[in-house]
Structure 1
Amino acid sequence: MGGGGVFRFSSMASSPRLLVLLLAWLCCAAAEAADTIQQGKSLSAAETLVSTPEGVFEVGFFPPDPKQPSRLYLGIWYRGIVPRTVVWVANRAAPATSAAPSLTLTETGELQVLDGTAANGTAAPSLLWSSNTSRAALRGGYYASIQDSGSLQVRSDDGTLSWDSFWHPTDTILSGMQIAVRAPGPPGRGGTNERMLFTSWASETDPAPGRYALGLDPAGSGQAYIWRDGNDIYWRSGQWTGVNFIGIPWRPLYLSGFSLSNDRDLGLHYTYTATNTSLQRFVVQPNGTDICYMVKKSSQEWETVWLQPSNECEYYAACGPNAKCTVGQDGKAKCTCLKGFQPKLWDQWNAGNWSEGCTRNPPLGCQVNQPGDGFLPIGNIKWPDFSYWMSTVADETGCKNACLNNCSCGAYVHTTTTGCLVWGDKLIDIHELPTGAYTLNLKLPASELRVHHTVWRIATIVSAVVLFVLLACLVLWWRRGRNIKDAVHRSWRSRQSSTWSQQNSAMLDISQSIRFDDEVEDGKSHELKVYSLDRIKAATCNFSDSNKLGEGGFGPVYMGTLPGGEEVAVKRLCRNSGQGLEEFKNEVILIAKLQHRNLVRLLGCCLQREEKILVYEYMPNKSLDAFLFNPEKQGLLDWSKRFDIIEGIARGLLYLHRDSRLRIVHRDLKASNILLDADMNPKISDFGMARMFGGDQNQFNTNRVVGTFGYMSPEYAMEGIFSVKSDVYSFGVLILEIITGKRAVSFHYHQDSLNIAGYAWRQWNEDKATELIDPLIRASCSVRQVLRCIHIALLCVQDHADERPDIPTVIIMLSSDSLSLPNPRPPTLMLRGRELESSKSSENERSHSIGTVSMTQLHGR
């Protein structure tokens, strides 16, 4: 037997108990043998292989059509999920019809599906399918096994991989797959000549190859297509931006782990790595729809979380060339020609046949020797197909000029992740997106731009006048307490104590608001309420201590209740807080325009007398530090919640740094500025120190450094230079706090290490990183996942900003366990205790502490 034991039946005959033990041992040995197929062995129709070590998947023969139980296919399915969910089929074009099909592993390492023998037993089994991987026979031989990832593999006895079902998928994309133009092959041997396609079943009960297939663009654009009947494009994903596909705005898709790579063996390819908390798969349906399914933890049933195409505009070229498709309120497609174009065939267009699209009219100036061509930005659209990447163009201006100087160029786009993309004279497959700030610069003649420029100038002039009036009013209001001899102000102040209180007791009440029409995440405009001081006092019981939620560096925060019963958080800025009128206006303007599920929402404000007050949505669980550093509440944050908080903060930063119309650096990211809602979802708050970037700006330099000790990046603290990488540094510190359950400043004198980053790197370098994990979560967490987060945090707190990853890269790192990470460099600021003391005397530094928040002001050198 496999254990090598020798038994004598004479001794067992006198011991029935020993015979029972032998039978139990034989059963266990048989169960272990079901994990693999050894060389020269077979798997019958009555047997299955179970994946190791968790038993997630199972391999065996199955009948997909209950009406035809004799038609059997070799497949892989989820074990324990009812009904059977098949993810891969071997002999999909040739079902077994005999009663004795088998899966055999030959001596040359080839998997074969055989269809048994003829009725008389004389005919040889017929070959239905093979892996086509015959190799020279090896001394140690081969074996086949199924992995918990769903991958059926053939390996030589020394562990070398020679064949993998992931290289030859059917209709399903599973976590861990590499999606390439050509099918992958053994490591180091490059890809195969077989095109890698995910091909639908012919029907729900027939696994034969169907009409639809999903794959990558053979031209190398990185786009995914669904083809119908071989060559007819049915759907297109859009270009890859570095974190998402243009045509697929569903963000959780990318948090599940799609990443783009380029190597010598496979060329351009995607790797898909799902989250650890759910079973997830993508399936190309027989009708051509690509659906993402996820298992509900409560019921273990599949639910649809995403599908494409989901409306008529997502069908490829629904409106033909040079036209835009928009989904109407009735869910139907509506086609309109792009500006500067008209229907090619008016009769067909009016009849609803848009296949011929639109043609340019009038022509470009370069086509008729009339200078003045320019560009019209068209926002919120899926970029057209057939883009060309211009690798020699480095910036926006160069990309614009390259298109302007080429009369055949019809549009261009330039972003930091895609570089310069240009299109020809046919713009195909454009449709309006519900979200996503994707802009196409459409090339137009001067005659088509004049109207636009006139409207734009008028709008700009009106906006400037309104802004000037508002600023003038704000300045007058602010200076009213400085003994300005202004008759209007004196009159207003005198009326305030008499007729104003009698006739207008609800001054600046909820009925007044400031409307913001900027595009936000939910597609709606938002209003910022302007509250009276009396209304604020009533809501907070005159700023009662019993309503006080806490106090930060800029003043106390109170819980309030508005007349309608809505609970709010009221932030009352202290006069000596350091946040003056400019910081107040900054926070109001920024947060009012920023709308994201991981940013705290500003509901209103009050600027009356000497009071500066902000009204936020109420967070019942207060701030992250109230849980993280409170021994009584630390246990409520298990690792799953902590990891969700890390991901949520990263998504909020991604919105600030990249996805919002404004480009924001927070500058004061810390645990006390992360609020938690009722479901423990994190929301970034306190934008008083935030700064907005514009144009091509990548960093600022300031002589006034403000922030919290322990969170500030070295270049900001020492030189006053800040950028989005400054927030990345603070985020890295925050990750370490979440993992350790200790404040960053608590490591100040711990083992002579200056900060939490230095201490974490020392533990990492000495292979003692697990000692960083909070003891409350150490027993129940995924140690591998925590160590990866520590690794990512150390990359975020690198001394030099250019060595830190940006937030889109951090999100990919967090969501992909397979992505290799670079080794972090040791922090150079790991000063010893005595060195720290001596350095303090030489720094031109002024620090002060208010409550639990330490503020440091340094003057850049």
Structure 2
Amino acid sequence: MLHYCSLKSNLGKVKMNGEGTMGTICLTVFILLLLICLCQSDDQLTSARPLSPGDLLISKNGVFALGFFSPVGSNESLYVGIWFHGIPEHNRTIVWVANRDNPTTTASTPTLAISNSSDLVLSDSKGQTLWRTQNINAAHDSGAFLVLRDTGNLVLQLPNTSVIWQSFDHPTDTILPGMEFLLIHRGRAVARLISWRSPDDPSTGDFSFGLDPVSNLQLIIWNGAKIYCRISVWNGVLGGMYPSSPSSMVYQTIVNKGDEFYLEIVVSGGSPYSRIMLDHTGTMKLLTWDSNSSSWTVISERPEGGYGLYDSCGPNGYCDFTEAAPACHCLEGFEAVGLNSSRGCRRTEPLQCSKGSHFVALPRMRVPDKFMLLRNRTFEQCAAECSRNCSCTAYAYANLSSGMADQSRCLVWTGELVDTWKSSNYGEVLYLRLANPPVKTKTNLVKIVVPVTACLLLPICIALVCIYKFKAGKWRKEEIQKKLMLGYLGTSNELGDKNVEFPFVSFDDIVAATDNFSDCHMLGRGGFGKVYKGMLKGGKEVAVKRLSQGSGQGIDEFRNEVVLLVKLQHRNLVRLLGCCIHEEEKLLIYEYLPNKSLDAFLFGMDIMGRWKCNGIGGLISC
């Protein structure tokens, strides 16, 4: 695909009408052919023609563009950069900047060109060099050309496809899919991302991202020379994956190429635009483009809010990212120094070598900083190394890539544990040293057992006394009522010498059986009292006759019925089951006959001795 140079494109516009001559047509065709020959390919720049403001290099499939741009709010400063060409102009996303610390202006008529030494050079009309590549081994007049690929990589190469220089080796603040961000080269940390100064200023900012040059095991964000946030600690896991859309994934992985290690992101087929960038606030973000909302969506970021900052939870504390909102907690065996654990934690039981110690396993932890690496150790050797060293407070072990000379990674800590995380989807086991609980002597055991036993026996004794008093009181109460009842019955000579015994029913049982003489349990009433249906303990149904209080006839009735029913025992007579005298209450307990007595059917008399007239549909009053 070809494009017309901005300076010459107007020459190709020929207005044709019905009166045009053959000479005009031929001239037009000649001009068009001339323009095609003079203009460079969309995605390539040769040494013959430089790139000027207003010109663009567009990758083959139109994904990325290279050109001059001015940040939002600046109409004078010009930078050479690469951005997503498929994203609307008002959301232009710059992914690489050449002259970030040396801007130019339109008035200086800058150009980007390939020099005779096969360097890519940005210069102005005065010949001042603003930015250039450094190609030590490039040959003069080699025919080098520049091509912008659909990955966003700007490549300076020779006709034999040998790469002289590429922008992927010199990132600014962004990692693109397919870019191999070099972490280690021959045992040394090399590349760094460096943030913009502000959203509208691409110059070098305060924050940078890369591999810790001291240990070569940690990915870190620095604020100047200070650690701002630790992203991860190398434990042999090659990376993680994140959903970028319902049908696509973004994979973040570590690539091992022998003496070189790379950080790379790979996207599945059909994934939207993706990138990792370090913004001007020091936040490392994994983003994907949402075409529906025409905006970038954050898939993952570190640090997350105020948590995840270096040592944000203080010594011996950890930031828990497994909760709905990150929060600070104390490690096991520690307690907060202040009102909360954000100020750090201290041991609940100090370590003392003479009294012994043990280790607890804490899973899914991002291990603390300030560790010491012990090489060529097995897990058992790593654990033993820490166990026999009284000053060792924790250790962690991991198996690394098989391509490394030392496949073990034994980390040990002394003193306080700083900057620890807990995660739900990554991390490793941290083995933390804690003091053994104090040995309990016999004296201490006695001091503990005696008070505990006394505390347990006291309420038991009180309960037993209360139960005894309650039962004794109830027993005495029943005896009094029974004697009173026998006194009533003993005044009658009607019983003769016959030893009559029948059950005595307590008043409390009768009250419970009749629901405190509820009207809904009443079977009938008469001149001497009322009759209630009840259910005694054990489920036996009874009829309770309650004599009216203060009735002399009621007392006689009570005694006569007892004497009569005791003397007369017949299968057609209702049986007296028991009786009760309580203060003014006098009660007789009969067996319950659900089908009424014989006299009720013969004479229409109810259980209370009242006459009824038989009528159709039931009993009606006479």
Normalising by structure 1, we get a TM-score of 0.43
Deviation of 1:439 (Å): 2.7
2:362 is equivalent to residue 378 of structure 1: yes
Contact 2:112 2:122 in 1 (8 A): yes
The equivalent of 1:424 in structure 2 is 413
The equivalent of 1:168 in structure 2 is 170
Distance between the aligned counterparts of 1:96 and 1:285, measured in 2? 23
Match of 2:78 among 59, 72, 77: 72
The equivalent of 2:68 in structure 1 is 61
2:313 is equivalent to residue 319 of structure 1: yes
Distance between the aligned counterparts of 1:251 and 1:438, measured in 2? 23
Distance between the aligned counterparts of 2:244 and 2:368, measured in 1? 24
2:232 is equivalent to residue 225 of structure 1: no
Contact 1:170 1:199 in 2 (8 A): yes
The equivalent of 1:36 in structure 2 is 44
Identical residues among aligned pairs (%): 29
Contact 1:340 1:448 in 2 (8 A): no
The equivalent of 1:102 in structure 2 is 111
The equivalent of 1:180 in structure 2 is 182
Q: For each residue in 1:242-272, what CA deviation from the matched residue of structure 2 results, as whole angstroms up to 9, or x when unmatched?
A: 4466xx896779963333234455x333233
The equivalent of 1:414 in structure 2 is 397
- List gaps (5 residues or longer) in structure 2: 3-20, 402-407, 441-622
Q: Which amino acid aligns with 2:304?
A: S
- Answer 1 or 2: which has greater helix percent: 1
Deviation of 1:302 (Å): 2.5
The equivalent of 1:535 in structure 2 is none
The equivalent of 1:238 in structure 2 is 232
2:432 is equivalent to residue 442 of structure 1: yes
The equivalent of 1:273 in structure 2 is 266
Any idea what SS the aligned residue of 1:310 has?
A: coil
Deviation of 1:30 (Å): 4.9
Distance between the aligned counterparts of 1:239 and 1:194, measured in 2? 14
Distance between the aligned counterparts of 2:419 and 2:242, measured in 1? 19
Q: For each residue in 1:69-96, what CA deviation from the matched residue of structure 2 results, as whole angstroms up to 9, or x when unmatched?
A: 1211100011131121110011111111
Any idea what SS the aligned residue of 1:439 has?
A: strand
Map residues 661-680 of structure 1 onto 2, 5 A cutoff: none
Mark the CA change 1:328 to 1:76 in structure 2 (over 3 Å): closer, same or farther: closer
Distance between the aligned counterparts of 2:296 and 2:417, measured in 1? 38
Q: For each residue in 1:505-525, what CA deviation from the matched residue of structure 2 results, as whole angstroms up to 9, or x when unmatched?
A: xxxxxxxxxxxxxxxxxxxxx
Distance between the aligned counterparts of 2:159 and 2:241, measured in 1? 45
Q: Which amino acid aligns with 2:390?
A: C
Contact 1:312 1:333 in 2 (8 A): no
Contact 1:409 1:422 in 2 (8 A): no
2:51 is equivalent to residue 51 of structure 1: no
Contact 2:194 2:208 in 1 (8 A): yes
Deviation of 1:385 (Å): 2.3
The equivalent of 1:285 in structure 2 is 279
Match of 2:150 among 143, 148, 171: 148
Distance between the aligned counterparts of 2:235 and 2:243, measured in 1? 13
The equivalent of 1:216 in structure 2 is 211
Deviation of 1:171 (Å): 0.8
Distance between the aligned counterparts of 1:89 and 1:252, measured in 2? 26
Q: For each residue in 1:606-628, what CA deviation from the matched residue of structure 2 results, as whole angstroms up to 9, or x when unmatched?
A: xxxxxxxxxxxxxxxxxxxxxxx
Distance between the aligned counterparts of 1:380 and 1:155, measured in 2? 46
2:341 is equivalent to residue 334 of structure 1: no
Distance between the aligned counterparts of 2:301 and 2:398, measured in 1? 27
Distance between the aligned counterparts of 1:329 and 1:350, measured in 2? 20
Mark the CA change 1:363 to 1:282 in structure 2 (over 3 Å): closer, same or farther: same
Mark the CA change 1:258 to 1:434 in structure 2 (over 3 Å): closer, same or farther: closer
Deviation of 1:138 (Å): 3.2
Map residues 249-260 of structure 1 onto 2, 5 A cutoff: 256-260=250-254
Deviation of 1:163 (Å): 0.9
Match of 1:125 among 121, 127, 133: 127
Match of 1:88 among 90, 96, 112: 96
2:378 is equivalent to residue 394 of structure 1: yes
Distance between the aligned counterparts of 1:250 and 1:289, measured in 2? 18
Deviation of 1:205 (Å): 0.7
Distance between the aligned counterparts of 1:362 and 1:392, measured in 2? 33
Deviation of 1:201 (Å): 0.8
Distance between the aligned counterparts of 1:220 and 1:130, measured in 2? 33
2:133 is equivalent to residue 113 of structure 1: no
Q: For each residue in 1:140-165, what CA deviation from the matched residue of structure 2 results, as whole angstroms up to 9, or x when unmatched?
A: 33111111111111112322111111
2:288 is equivalent to residue 294 of structure 1: yes
Contact 1:313 1:326 in 2 (8 A): no
Distance between the aligned counterparts of 2:378 and 2:306, measured in 1? 37
- Answer 1 or 2: which has greater strand percent: 2
Any idea what SS the aligned residue of 1:398 has?
A: helix
Deviation of 1:206 (Å): 0.6
Distance between the aligned counterparts of 1:235 and 1:312, measured in 2? 11
Distance between the aligned counterparts of 1:436 and 1:194, measured in 2? 24
Q: For each residue in 1:209-236, what CA deviation from the matched residue of structure 2 results, as whole angstroms up to 9, or x when unmatched?
A: 111111112134432111112x211111
Mark the CA change 1:273 to 1:449 in structure 2 (over 3 Å): closer, same or farther: farther
Deviation of 1:59 (Å): 0.5
- Tell me how many residue pairs correspond in the alignment: 408
Mark the CA change 1:413 to 1:15 in structure 2 (over 3 Å): closer, same or farther: same
Contact 1:221 1:239 in 2 (8 A): no
Q: Which moved more, 1:311-320 or 1:205-214?
A: 311-320
Deviation of 1:177 (Å): 1.6
Mark the CA change 1:203 to 1:38 in structure 2 (over 3 Å): closer, same or farther: same
Distance between the aligned counterparts of 1:41 and 1:135, measured in 2? 23
Any idea what SS the aligned residue of 2:168 has?
A: helix
Larger radius of gyration: 2
Cα RMSD for the two superposed structures: 3.4
- List gaps (5 residues or longer) in structure 1: 3-12, 118-123, 185-189, 451-861
Any idea what SS the aligned residue of 1:384 has?
A: coil
Any idea what SS the aligned residue of 2:365 has?
A: coil
Q: Which amino acid aligns with 1:211?
A: D
